[in-house]
Structure 1
Amino acid sequence: MGGARLIARQVRESPLELRGWQGGIFDAVLGLVLVADVLLLPGVPAPADALDLVLALVGALAVTGSRRAPLSALLLCTGCMLAYALRVHPGPTAAFPVLVAVHIAVRTGGRRLPVKVAVLAFLGGYLASGQPAPTAAQSTALLLGWFLASVAMAVVGRHRRAYLEQLERRALEAERTREEAALRRAGEERLRIARELHDSLTHSISIIKLQAGVAVHLARKRGEEAPEALLAIQEASGEAMRELRATLEVLRGSGGGHGVDRIGDLAERSRTAGLPTSVTVSGRERPLADGVDRAAYRIVQEALTNVTRHAGPRPRATVRIEYADRQLVVQVDDDGTAAPDAEPVPGVGLTGMRERVTALGGRLRAGPRPEGGFTVRAELPLEAAT
């Protein structure tokens, strides 16, 4: 959205487009400048009485309301400044507040009739001010040029603002279209990968599971005890099929995959495979974002797989899930053979865990424990993930 933001900032560059406290400060400064112009410029007669002073103050300060009610402010300013010019000083200084009010009224799209009435009334007042005809005509012509310049600048500014707003809408639409196209291409790529995985792996894993099941059945039919390795192959192939189906559901966008609620099943399968595993959950359990839910499950799964492969003979594993205020903490410890001073080798599993955690804005610590064994600790921010 960078291009749209740049155009929107250009739209708001005009002081008349300021809002909030910035707009209030601009209005206050503008009112003070106009009051100083009417009353304090050298050579300008001072108000003769309180009425003249009130006319000057109200006429100059009326411009500060132009942002909210441009036409009302224009008519009030014109009436007061015309009366002030006729009573005190029919010079150009009394015309400056009216010039500003006319500019703002035209810039904000005010009706043409009130603007014309204000300009004609002020110019008519000058002509009827009692000045000598040449002087009055010269002053009126000068004021008319100023008014025309003010109106022209306002029209140009209004058209520029409309043009920039149109550009902003087009930029937003173009960026939205690009994002939709990118999402569509990503969805098509996920579907292609899902089809490839289904066609290539599902058949092979099904054959392995089927052959292992037949072997177990034949062994039991002969009255023999099925080998543990064969039973493990049968269980692992069934779990691989379940994992593959969950992955395909995620790729197709039709399911969220496994989450924290399935970690107990992971621990049970680890115990069946010969790895004593305990699970502890603490804190107030609550629904998790899909990304956090899947990442927690995958981290525990990969950590338990690494314990089985690398922790040595007869290790034990402990899984801790902590629901903190702002993060979900997932920690897997084992009492294997990893030495406290050994450097962990960043394999594919650890790299994948770190990528998952980093993508969610979390932190991962994986390394040997001081008392021996290995620990994996992931801190997943709940708010950032949501």
Structure 2
Amino acid sequence: MVRSALRALWAEPRPPSPPVRVWRDRALVAVLVPWSVIETVVRDDVAPSPVVLTVSLVIVLALLYRRTRPLGAVAVAFGTLIAFDVARIVAIDGTGLTSIVAVLVLPYSLFRWGAGREAVIGLGMILVWLAVTLAVVPTDPAEVAAGYGFFLLSAALGTSIRYHAGARVRDIEQAELRQRNQLARELHDTVGHHVSAIAIQAQAGRALAASHPDRALATLETIEEAASRTLEEMRAMVGVLRDGTEPDLAPHPGVADIGRLARSVGELPHVDVHLSGDLDDLHPSVGTALHRIAQEAVTNAVRHARHATRVTIHVADEGGRVRLTVRDDGGARTTGHAAPGYGLVGMAERASLLGGTLRAGPDPDGGWTVDAVLPKSVATT
């Protein structure tokens, strides 16, 4: 388990599109550069001054690259500090400036913006510097623990911010995916249903044009009505996508609208709708889901049920649940063993999102049945 975690850390990529520099970076440099110069001039224990000032300025300038080149910034800053501390051991009798406290920002930046392998390598360099600098200046165990604790806390803070930022990005991506899936379901269920009805009516009108012109004219009127409904629903969905339009203002068909399905598919197959029980207290989302599932089931029956003459829709109150059953009397489906299309997937998704179940398949005595069971109320958070 530990080995897998280390492997995952090593393979972790950099976060995408880090900001190059922000005003805080420039403000920090604008404060630290004069601070380093003034401290070099004022303090008597800083020697040799040019070397100490150079070390501080290198560290300060490295902060400008802490997001885009986090490992490079750590390597330059802590490499300079290691070289300075080694020189203090070997040849220089002096101390550093307090402005080098800015290096505390670099472990944060390393774990916030660096790749996994960069974080591991950079942390190793930081720990090496801590060991060297604590060897130069005699310290007690409490100070040693505090020194390591400060830098590890900075790294942990960077890791935490990175995790929360990544989680937020993933949440946004999931929300966008849910919206795309919802729009795809609405387009498929609404437009697909009406267009299928239009195509069937057009075929019937063409067959009746020569022998029964009056019935063909009535068929054209039905096509016009279906096309108008399709256009209205398309406009409503497009309006929801516009800026400033609230999705809750979009029209939501319910159980009462299922009866209209009987008039939207023409003469054959004939559609019977039966509503039983108390269906007035359904949650609006449940009512919309029932209508869309019934609509898609009828569309599938019209498209795929061979020789079907009747489709029965039954919505029944079952206490805390509501059951929708759509059954046709057609022959065996030629696509019965094929992979489920968008329609079946969309119906199953609608039921699952509301905590319900959906079963769709052939009947033993012929025909096809869609059976959905949904809770009458939906939990809100």
Report the TM range for the smaller structure's normalisation.
0.3 to 0.5
